[in-house]
Structure 1
């Protein structure tokens, strides 16, 4: 990857389908998410679709799925397959892995294999969708392994469009994605780089506080058009957290084109913009 030649790094991109037509979520959850975001483009992009899309935009993309097999009963996409296919598009794709947090020792072994055998550069968890409290010490062996491997971990925080508008939200519990639960993890794993994904509505102030207090915690700005960012997030991103916030779109439900167009309207200093769009992610990912 010639990172100097690229315009930006989008740190939050979902692979939603594999080469066999299997999707990351069941149809009801896919439809609910698409409705929530008013998504109009290809809702189930493959690795190859994403590579072509981001290559056209001269942008790198961190790609992943979420393994929520235990919580949803829906078989996950293969992180191994995603990483192996992304290797053919290493000019623009950076693969992350996902494991079922309820997998115990097998999940720990898989974390190690995904890095050693498939070249993943980090991991993604979605506490609400995966049905777990991230600060529960039963999951600490997962973080031990990720810390030892020296790669970052992304946690979904705040509201989610998955299950939105369905009876009971399809059983998905928002409280698992309260960023304050990650404060315990960040304190107990000082060498683990944690990215809190999304504006953490309704817990935005907590997320800003954690990222300010913990040197190992960052925020990605995906999942919301910058037009709707809470004002305190815009202030923090432009000032004291300018080296700790990252461009992310949440493609395919929000496109990088729209995100960047709306980001251009924010009151953010000119010298901070390249940090958010590329430099901070480049440093965090070690590329």
Structure 2
């Protein structure tokens, strides 16, 4: 990856299309619901870009991207995407894509072994957790064997926080419980793993101030600004991004639900200081990912 040619780093993109398995019953309806909520024409028929198509899209825009699936098969019934295959596709597109992985922490020691192997053998840089979709509190000790493996391998932990629209409007919210994604639960993880980089994904609504507090208080905690169009960011979120958290905020879109084109266009309208914009769009992520 030629960092000089990259204009931004998107810290939050999804590998939605199955790599090596068929779609599950209900998955099409789930993606249609997501497309309706985010007004995303790309997913209106339930069909979304492959990882290869994502690479081509981002390469054309000179934007690097962190990409991952979500292992939520225990709670949703949908097969997870194979972490290894996502990582292999990233390796084939390493000029633009960086692989994260996802493992349900309920897999315990089996998940911990998988995490070590993914970092060592497949170059995985971090792990995505989605407490709402995976149905667990981040500070549940059940998850700690997996966190310990990730910490020992020097990888990043990325946690979904707040409400971004996943399951919104679907019957019973598709069974997803918002309570799991209060960022204050991740404060415990930051205390117990103080040397591990931790990223809070999204503005953490309706717990925005809790997320800001955790990121301000814990040196190892960052925030990616994905999942919301910037025009809907709370004022306090923008203020912190402009000031005391300017070196901890990361550009993220939530592709394909929100495209980087839409996010960046709305971000350009925010009253962000000129010297802060490059930090958020590229420099903070480059430093966190060790890209130089």
Q: Is the 8 A contact 1:64 1:98 kept in 2?
A: yes
- 1:61, distance to aligned residue in structure 2 (A): 0.5
Q: Is the 8 A contact 1:71 1:131 kept in 2?
A: yes
- 1:21, distance to aligned residue in structure 2 (A): 6.6
Q: Is the 8 A contact 2:9 2:282 kept in 1?
A: yes
Q: Is the 8 A contact 1:18 1:47 kept in 2?
A: no
TM-score (norm 2): 0.95
- 1:19, distance to aligned residue in structure 2 (A): 4.2
Q: Is the 8 A contact 2:70 2:80 kept in 1?
A: yes
How far apart are the structure 2 equivalents of 1:22 and 1:5? 37
SS for the counterpart of 1:10 is: strand
Q: Is the 8 A contact 2:230 2:263 kept in 1?
A: yes
Does residue 278 (structure 1) correspond to residue 270 (structure 2)? The answer is no
- 1:161, distance to aligned residue in structure 2 (A): 2.0
Q: Is the 8 A contact 1:246 1:281 kept in 2?
A: yes
Matches within 5 A, 1:199-278: 199-278=203-282
Q: Is the 8 A contact 1:158 1:203 kept in 2?
A: yes
Q: Which of 145, 148, 152 matches 1:148? A: 152
Task: Kindly report the root-mean-square deviation, in angstroms, between the aligned alpha carbons of the 2 structures.
Answer: 1.3
Q: Is the 8 A contact 2:164 2:202 kept in 1?
A: no
After TM superposition, the structure 1 stretch with the greater mean CA deviation from structure 2, 60-69 or 32-41, is 32-41
Q: Is the 8 A contact 1:160 1:174 kept in 2?
A: no
SS for the counterpart of 1:94 is: strand
* Structure-2 change in CA distance of 1:9 and 1:176 (3 Å): same
**1:28 corresponds to which residue?**
29
How far apart are the structure 1 equivalents of 2:41 and 2:55? 19
Q: Is the 8 A contact 1:12 1:61 kept in 2?
A: yes
SS for the counterpart of 1:270 is: coil
Q: Which of 175, 182, 196 matches 1:178? A: 182
Q: Any stretches of 5+ residues in structure 1 without a counterpart? A: none
Q: Which of 107, 110, 114 matches 2:111? A: 107
Q: Deviations over 1:91-138 (max 9, x none)?
A: 000010111111111100000111111111111010000111110011
After TM superposition, the structure 1 stretch with the greater mean CA deviation from structure 2, 180-189 or 159-168, is 159-168
TM-score (norm 1): 0.97
Q: Is the 8 A contact 2:19 2:85 kept in 1?
A: no
How far apart are the structure 1 equivalents of 2:206 and 2:23? 29
Q: Deviations over 1:208-259 (max 9, x none)?
A: 0110000000000001111110000000000000000000000101010111
How far apart are the structure 1 equivalents of 2:159 and 2:147? 12
Moved over 2 A (4+): 18-25
Q: Is the 8 A contact 1:100 1:130 kept in 2?
A: yes
Does residue 10 (structure 1) correspond to residue 10 (structure 2)? The answer is yes
How far apart are the structure 2 equivalents of 1:128 and 1:227? 24
- 1:167, distance to aligned residue in structure 2 (A): 2.0
Q: Is the 8 A contact 2:86 2:99 kept in 1?
A: yes
**2:134 corresponds to which residue?**
130
